[in-house]
Amino acid sequence: MWKNCNNITYKSILQAKHITDGISFKTPLLKLENISSKINKPVFIKDESVQKTSSFKIRGVYYCIHSKLNHLILNSNLQSNTNIITQSTGNHGISTLFSVYNLIQQNSWNNKLISSLNPIIYSSKFIQPIKYNYMNYYLKKIREITNDNSRGKILTHFDSYSQALNERLLFQKKHENSLYIEHGFPEIITGHGAIGLEISQQLIDMGISTN
């Protein structure tokens, strides 16, 4: 899953933070007073449950899709109705649909093909209803903004996550121009790194050295 992560640099994480700053909330850094007092050192948690999708994953997924689209556009390789595909049991799929919606809405490249992005999420019939509803919420927003009620899919008829993954693989082989968003792509890990920069700044603002 983890591929070429040695290429992740401080500079690339700074770039990811710049790109994702307007997309994600600055979530609170909360001090755990009881534990801190017991070990006589400050202990904090980063509360990503109050993030826009109730998950930390939007920074990484958004930055990954943004980076791949940027590469295609710069090389004039973006095609109409480009599929954005992944498999997910919940948060990764939610973050993918959230990202596609925001990328279409902002369209910072001013490229008309961005509005034709077509997200497809492979899951199983055992997905938690709250996760499915969250996915469906952003799918509806994508359909509203593109004025296309057939755009995008959330496929949940599979008997297992493994079956959903295999079906995604078959689809990807038939549609080689699809953009697959893997959980462990280096662009996703880079985007997650923006959380570390945010934590570092929050600690500095509290007067705590990060050296």
pLDDT tens track for 106-122 = 999 999 999 999 999 99
pTM (2 d.p.) = 0.94
Please say if the pLDDT value at position 92 is more than 80. yes
- The helix or strand, by DSSP H or E, that contains position 65, with its residue range, turns out to be helix 58-74
SS3 content of the chain, % helix, strand, coil (to 5): 55, 10, 35
Average pLDDT over residues 43-60: 96
Average pLDDT over residues 48-68: 96
Token readout for 191 is: 């985007």
Cα–Cα distance, 11 to 136 (Å, whole number): 35
Q: Partners of 83 in the beta sheet?
A: 118
